[in-house]
Structure 1
Amino acid sequence: MKRLIILILNLFVIIMASSCKSTNENKSNDLKVEVVETSRNGHQLTKIDSFNTVEPKAIITLNPQKTFQTFTGFGGAFTESSAYLLNQLSPANRKKIIDAYFADSGAKYSLMRTHMNSCDFSLSQYSYAPVEGDKNLKHFSIKEDQPDLIPMIKDAMAASENGFKLFASPWTAPPWMKTNNDWVGGKLKPEYYDTWALFFSKYVDAYKAEGINLWGFTVENEPHGNGNNWESMHYTPEEMTKFVREHLGPKLEKDGKGYLKILGYDQNRAGLKEWVDVMYKNEANAKYFDGTAVHWYESTYKIFAEDLQYAHNKAPDKYLIETEACVDAQVPVWQEDDWYWRKEATDWGWDWAPEDQKYLHPKYRPVYRYARDIIGCMNNWVDGWVDWNMVLDRQGGPNWFKNWCVAPVIVDPDQDEVYFTPLYYTMAHFSRYVRPGAKRIDFESTDKDLQVTAATNPDGNHIAIVFNPSQEEKVFKLQLGELTKTISISPQAIQTINIAN
């Protein structure tokens, strides 16, 4: 009997040891991950520690040995409208918003845009060179930027632990330099090409005197124009290329500013092929162009993947940056998160698009449009993605033209209230976790409903971003080499998965 008891105890020890060994082996095969999720059911960059344990139906396999573009950054734009609104808030709420975008605890924006001279998201129309015929720009002044715009940029710089790259875009030259002597439309007169190039150089000096260093420029915001609505100036691809090749590039180089990046085009992707064909036609044309800028307008859902790939292949060693996107022609919805996930939230383009193009502008969910576009851009060689206004009011302004739009953060300055919309959290899934210098990596996904992208950060950590637009929870196995992790993602949700190296 005693022997039987000993035998049973020994057998129990063996079974337990085997079980522990199996458990330890399973644990050793687990990827170490940190997961944050934003979802329609209320998650806001919420850390997820437990997952559905059902057998996964899909596999996402990461292949960090195969890399693509290096990311420049993610961010938004400093506009006079946003800066003015921040100055109407209490110091505590101003700091709350700045920190949410730039602090290490926030979205950590790393690539930023601003406007030279006024734009539609200004309080009025103005130019830094208001004196007609001032070809040497003796009266050049950025005084209009000093009350609001410059303090906002400086506060962002102070809050940002790792800093950010800042580029500027003109909407128009001062009217006296243009063929139609107007803020809207027209072209730059050939006799003012040198003056306009000098304008860029003086802008760099003026901002440097304020303690703000520029990273670069786009040559012109929306050179096709904007329907003759607000500030604009037209170029053909040949005209812009000539201006850069013979005036802007040489001027910046002569003034010791050759380090500044020059991005051409800066409008919708549908016209991209025509522009890069001219910009990169030969070495002389391409010399001063450091890259190409694009916007997301013209279609609600189409990424224009072929056009982006074409642009990359034309100049694989140059930048390809998405420089403006927003939910436009829309008054923001105040403190109603679900609106941003709703199927028929907004219908940008429907009221003006020709009948044969209305199919490109269906009703859409704002969160879906952001997540889908950023992932699609990342997977098609875009190396930077920049949102438009960071802060707007409950009307979607201020905007001198009344061109109302939505921003990730909406404020009510009269009540000193701040609303972080789901678009803020969507942007942060990318900007906070995919850092400058990260490289996009290869992946495979067996679930075509899930939209996926992946990158390896400079610190060696791998990042996977998964968007689930379906109305059901998805369970998938994430695989990296021999290591795996079963992860569940909520219905209508976006996740960022940080995999420690």
Structure 2
Amino acid sequence: MKRLKLLPLTLISLMLASSCVQKAESLKVEVVETSRSGNKLTQIDSFSSAADTISKVSLNPKKTFQTFTGFGGSFTESSAYLLNQLGKENRQKIIDAYFADSGARYSLTRTHMNSSDFSLDQYSYAPVEGDTLLKHFSIEEDRGDIIPMIKDAMAASTEGFNIISSPWTAPPWMKTNNAWVGGELKREHYDTWALFFSKYADAYKAEGIDIWGFTVENEPHGNGNNWESMHYTPEEMTEFVRDYLGPQLEKDGKGDLKILGYDQNREGIREWVDVMYKNEANAKYYDGTAIHWYESTFKVFPEALQYAHEKAPDKYLIQTEACVDAEVPKWQDDDWYWQKEATDWGWDWAPEDQKHLHPKYRPVYRYARDIIGCMNNWVDGWVDWNMVLNRQGGPNWFENWCVAPVIVDPDQDEVYFTPLYYTMAHFSKYIRPGAKRIAFESTDKDLQVSAATNPDGSHVVIVFNPSKAEKVFDLQLDEAVKRLSISPQAIQTITLKN
């Protein structure tokens, strides 16, 4: 009988260690980082390997959640006007930064129908009072700015992008108060207003621009006595969609255009989805729900998002607007965007019982943690507000100054890409339309994480480290492990290569 030769214990240990190394090396990753210390989508090739505490992020691609529609920003008249004021080189630089393969590759966008506060003035495509058949309908107001900006973006984008169009208000003559601000749509004009959406889609189609979908109304609760607005109750909006807008688009052969209801802050979403999806008749023409983030500077409202998803699990849940509002942007000062100095409208104007929702908060943190929080709570699209603003945070006819990822000085023909631009790109550039969110586990409660699998099979992990300490963690997929580290106050996108 042949005896088995036993290997020394030390040799067995070395063989096991070698096997682990080989497995670790089989996990091939590309890492880009944006940090307070100065990285801006910088490729990271070397990582700290030792720390007092090493956490773990484990991926489970077999368990999937929502399919992502896209990430991007908005074509506003203000942004388009500013691009027209820049030299040709800087104009193209911004377009490419947002839409080219070398840039953020925005895939989901928004624009306004008629004017918004981020317009130079108030206007409507149907200004003639009593024109119920919309014979004088015209998008002439958009030909000099918004349309050229969209066309330039289309030329720069390899894969294309979808456009959501939103009205802030119907023309005053269709409203109960005959004014740009507030009031409701007169019931006798429900059919005319539905026709307005159809004509808008046709007019843009004639310009070579396909509209992907609509929100029914930007902020139907209204916004005080401020800029353009029009009020709906959930019942009124649903009646308009069910009996007028949906049938009008269907009749005109535009049944594939998406209709998103609500389009305001997350905490108020419950009463809306209860009505929108109450029965088959109400839900028929709704393709999803749109939301904004202005309820709080830092809260994501996961329970509200989960509630909306559970009400309509097969429909879209898209964040259509977000910005650091009520702030004049800081020029050429990257560190400000990482500082706890930004405020929003609620810092000054929220009722006392809501003040706690609006503390000063770091702009980069606000974007990174909100997008990650949305991703992890069933939101499938996330759209920023203005792509470009000036050093004042405008132009805005109401002087409602805000911050954008790209700030320009047209007088000097200068462009400033703020840290918010790079933060947005961490998502939009790497998580592509059709990607599916996948399950993960993280042992470090300070790291904020989300993960997705792209249509090409590559896995993408987003890691945000808001702490002031470097973090070391093992990224694990099946049996393969890669030790990585992330800088203090930084966001990383990790792409696992096939």
TM tier, shorter chain?
over 0.9
Residue 270 of structure 2 aligns to a residue whose secondary structure is helix
Aligned residues: 487
Aligned to 1:437: 434
Q: Which residue of 1 aligns with 2:28?
A: 32
Q: Which residue of 1 aligns with 2:312?
A: 315
1:9 matched residue in structure 2: none
| Cα shift at 1:345 | 3.1
C-alpha contact (below 8 Å) 1:348/1:363 kept by paired residues? no
> What TM-score, normalized by structure 2, do the two folds share?
0.96
Is the counterpart of residue 46 in structure 1 residue 57 in structure 2? no
Aligned residue in 2 for 1:3: none
- The alpha-carbon deviation at position 270 of structure 1 amounts to 1.2
Paired amino acid for 2:161: F
Q: Secondary structure at the match of 1:328?
A: coil
2:143 is the counterpart of 1:146: yes
Give the Cα–Cα distance (whole angstroms) in 1 for the partners of residues 199 and 344 of structure 2: 41
- The one-letter amino acid of 1:105's match is S
Question: Which residue matches 1:179?
Answer: 176
Q: 1:237 aligns with which of 214, 234, 237?
A: 234
**Displacement after TM superposition at 1:440 (Å):** 0.2
Q: How far apart are 1:343 and its partner, in Å?
A: 1.7
CA contact (8 A) 1:154 1:212 kept: yes
Q: TM-score, normalised by structure 1?
A: 0.95
Amino acid at match of 2:193: W
Task: Name the structure 1 match of 2:454.
Answer: 457
CA distance in 2, matches of 1:24, 1:148: 60
Cα distance in 1 between the residues matched to 2:335 and 2:385: 22
Distance verdict in 2 for CA 1:441–1:413, change over 3 Å = same
Match of 2:291 in 1: 294
Distance 1:345 1:105 in 2: 30
2:358 aligns with 361
Shift of 1:356: 1.7
Q: Matches of 2:481 and 2:20 in 1, distance apart?
A: 12
| Contact 2:220–2:229 (8 Å) recurs in 1 | yes
User: Could you say which residue in structure 1 is the equivalent of 2:424?
Assistant: 427
Contact 1:300–1:348 (Cα < 8 Å) also in 2: no
Give the equivalent residue in structure 2 for 1:254.
251
Shift of 1:29: 2.6
Q: 1:80 to 1:257 in 2, by over 3 A?
A: same
Q: Residue in 2 aligned with 1:8?
A: none
Secondary structure at 1:132's aligned position in 2? coil
Query: Taking every aligned residue pair, what percent have the same amino acid on both sides?
Result: 80
Unmatched segments (≥5 aa) in structure 2: 1-9
Deviations 1:106-131 (A, max 9, x none): 00000010000000000000000000
Give the counterpart of 2:115 among 111, 115, 118.
Answer: 118
Q: Distance in 2 between matches of 1:467 and 1:379?
A: 13
1:20 deviates by 9.6
The 2-side partners of 1:143 and 1:136 are apart by: 18
Looking at structure 2, the residues matched to 280 and 292 of structure 1 have their Cα atoms a distance apart, in angstroms, of 10
* CA distance in structure 2 between the partners assigned to 1:335 and 1:63 by the alignment: 41
**1-structure distance, mates of 2:233, 2:488:** 45
1:414 to 411, 414, 419: 411
In the alignment, structure 1 segments of 5+ residues that lack a partner are: 1-14
User: Partner amino acid for 1:146?
Assistant: R
Aligned to 1:487: 484
> Of 300, 314, 324, which residue of structure 2 is paired with 1:327?
324
Give the AA of the match of 2:408.
Answer: V
1:405 corresponds to which residue?
Answer: 402
> What do residues 178-204 of structure 1 show as CA deviations (whole Å, max 9, x unaligned)?
000000000000000000000000000
Give me the whole-angstrom Cα distance separating, in 1, the residues matched to 2:311 and 2:20: 49
Taking a change above 3 Å as real, the CA distance of residues 81 and 481 of structure 1, as seen in their structure-2 partners, is same
> Are residue 155 (structure 1) and residue 155 (structure 2) matched?
no
The match for 1:67 among 59, 64, 68 is 64
1:149-228 matched pairs, under 5 angstroms: 149-228=146-225
| Amino acid in the other structure paired with 2:114 | N
Question: Helix, strand or coil for the counterpart of 2:83?
Answer: helix
3-state DSSP class of the match of 1:155? helix
Q: Which one-letter code corresponds to 2:347 in the other structure? A: W
Counterpart for residue 5 of structure 2: none
User: Hey, what's the Cα distance between the residues in 2 that align with 1:38 and 1:435?
Assistant: 19
Using the TM superposition, give the Cα deviation of residue 344 of structure 1 relative to its aligned residue in structure 2, in angstroms. 2.4
Contact 1:197 1:248 in 2 (8 A): yes
Are positions 1:273 and 2:270 aligned together? yes
Q: Deviations over 1:408-446 (max 9, x none)?
A: 000000000000000000000000010000000000000
CA contact (8 A) 2:23 2:479 kept: no
Looking at structure 1, the residues matched to 490 and 17 of structure 2 have their Cα atoms a distance apart, in angstroms, of: 34
Task: Measure the CA separation in 2 of the matches of 1:347 and 1:119.
Answer: 19
1:394 aligns with 2:406: no
The residue number in structure 2 matching 1:6 is none
Mapped partners of 1:462, 1:68: distance in 2 = 14
Q: Say what the alpha-carbon RMSD is for the aligned residues.
A: 1.5
Structure 2 CA distance for aligned equivalents of residues 468 and 147 of structure 1? 43
